[in-house]
């Protein structure tokens, strides 16, 4: 136990030294480094290139192969930029990250003035890590972000340091069911990236998303309805390299009287609209459709459109 702890400490400070040394470089140098990494990852190694192109083909069958390859290349550029910018966040000043964003959080100020806590539903638009820098600073609610633990404790500690620099309260997803209440003692803004593949498809909601049957975790909808929270949708518009616009839209003034299914459908439909507006800005390297639709999931179908026939599975 002691040996493992020491190893963890050594690895953490080793990684911190490397990442911090990189983070103090000017952003144009980090972007140039990112371009080289993108060329190596996308053009040479082809890391998850098949996953990205398959996801794009299923989501946009009406587009040509050339169009989808262009989106894929733009995606990888933005994806690597996201990681280069995240490294920069280790040392960036508040003034520095302010130059990267535009935002209008008036809807959050409205609810804070009324003493309301709010549930925020987001998607993985680049650069999603900026969320943990801007929301603790630019609106009065306590920002509580849910995240997935990393397998490396040293890397998780490093990324918690980056994410939490400006006051974000970070809660591992595996603690949500058991310990979330201790983080919700003041009016809060609970952030949920609800677009990733759930671990239990047989206990999920199912509906069409980007033209294919897709599982969604029911937890976000159930939480908002149980607590009767206002629900807002956050999406990030990538204007150019290193420049983002944060859009916060009110989905529901209150989830009182709604069902988790209704809330989930509204979220997914808006998520889909935003992805179609700027497809290269979404996280296509995730194996989002690894769970295939099965006829036995029919009771879990929440879409207005009928679920696929059995012979289509």
The candidate with the shortest Cα–Cα distance to 7, out of 227, 174, 154, 148, is 154
Whole-angstrom distance, CA of residue 173 vs CA of residue 190: 12
Query: In degrees rounded to 5, what are phi and psi of residue 253?
Result: -60, -35
Cβ neighbours for 93, distance < 8 A, ≥ 6 positions apart? none
pLDDT in the model for residue 19: 95
Amino acid 310: pLDDT: 67
- Give the SS3 label for residue 299: helix
Q: Which two tokens stand for residue 205?
A: 């909601």
Neighbouring residues of 12: CB distance < 8 A, sequence distance ≥ 6? 153, 154, 157, 158
CA nearest 298: which of 204, 174, 228? 204
Q: What is the pLDDT of residue 312?
A: 57
Short-list 189, 140, 144, CA closest to 170: 144
Q: What Rg value do the Cα atoms of the chain yield, rounded?
A: 20
Q: How far apart are the first and last CA of the chain?
A: 48
Q: What is the pLDDT of residue 194?
A: 86
pLDDT recorded at residue 281: 97
Sequence spans of domains, the chain: 2-292
CB 175 within 8 A of CB 272: no
pLDDT on residue 193? 86
CA distance 208 to 54: 17
Question: In 73-98, which positions are buried (b, 16+ CB within 10 angstroms) versus exposed (e)?
Answer: bebbbbbbbbebbbbbbbbbeeeebe
Residue 14's φ and ψ, nearest 5 degrees, are -65, -50
- Residue 118's region, left for phi above 0, alpha for psi from -120 to 50, else beta, is beta
> What is the 8-class DSSP label of residue 40?
I
Per-residue pLDDT 10s for the chain (313 aa) are 666 777 888 999 999 999 999 999 999 999 999 999 999 988 899 889 999 999 999 999 999 999 999 999 999 999 999 999 999 999 999 999 999 999 999 999 999 999 999 999 999 999 999 999 999 999 999 999 998 888 889 999 999 999 999 999 999 888 888 888 888 999 999 999 889 899 899 999 999 999 999 999 999 999 999 999 999 999 999 999 999 999 999 999 999 999 999 999 999 999 999 999 999 999 999 999 999 999 999 999 999 988 887 665 4
């Amino acid at each position: 136990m002691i040996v493992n702890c020491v190893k963890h400490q050594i690895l953490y400070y080793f990684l911190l030294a490397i990442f911090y040394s990189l983070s103090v470089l000017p952003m144009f140098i980090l972007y140039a480094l990112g371009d080289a990494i993108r060329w190596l990852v996308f053009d040479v190694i082809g890391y998850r290139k098949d996953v990205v192109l398959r996801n794009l083909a299923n989501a946009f069958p009406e587009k040509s192969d050339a169009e989808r390859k262009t989106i894929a290349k733009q995606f990888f550029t933005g994806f690597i930029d996201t990681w280069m910018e995240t490294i920069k966040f280790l040392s960036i000043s508040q003034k520095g990250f302010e130059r990267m964003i535009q935002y209008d959080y008036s809807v959050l100020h409205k609810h804070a003035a009324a003493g309301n806590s709010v549930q925020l539903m987001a998607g993985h638009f680049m650069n999603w890590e900026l969320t943990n820098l801007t929301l603790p600073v630019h609106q009065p609610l306590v920002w509580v972000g849910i995240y997935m633990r990393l397998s490396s404790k040293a890397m998780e500690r490093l990324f918690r340091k980056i994410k939490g620099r400006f006051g974000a309260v970070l809660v591992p997803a595996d603690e949500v069911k058991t310990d979330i209440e201790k983080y919700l003692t003041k009016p809060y803004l609970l952030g949920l990236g609800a677009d990733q593949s759930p671990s239990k498809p047989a206990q999920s909601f199912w509906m069409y998303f980007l033209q294919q049957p897709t599982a969604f975790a029911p937890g976000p909808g159930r939480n908002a309805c149980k607590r009767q929270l206002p629900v807002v949708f956050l999406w990030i518009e990538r204007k150019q390299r290193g420049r983002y616009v944060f859009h916060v839209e009110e989905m529901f003034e209150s989830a009182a009287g709604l069902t988790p299914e209704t809330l989930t459908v509204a979220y997914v439909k808006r998520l889909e609209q935003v992805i179609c507006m700027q497809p290269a800005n979404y996280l296509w390297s995730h194996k989002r459709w690894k769970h295939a639709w099965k006829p036995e999931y029919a009771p879990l179908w929440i879409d207005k459109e009928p679920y696929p026939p059995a012979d289509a599975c």
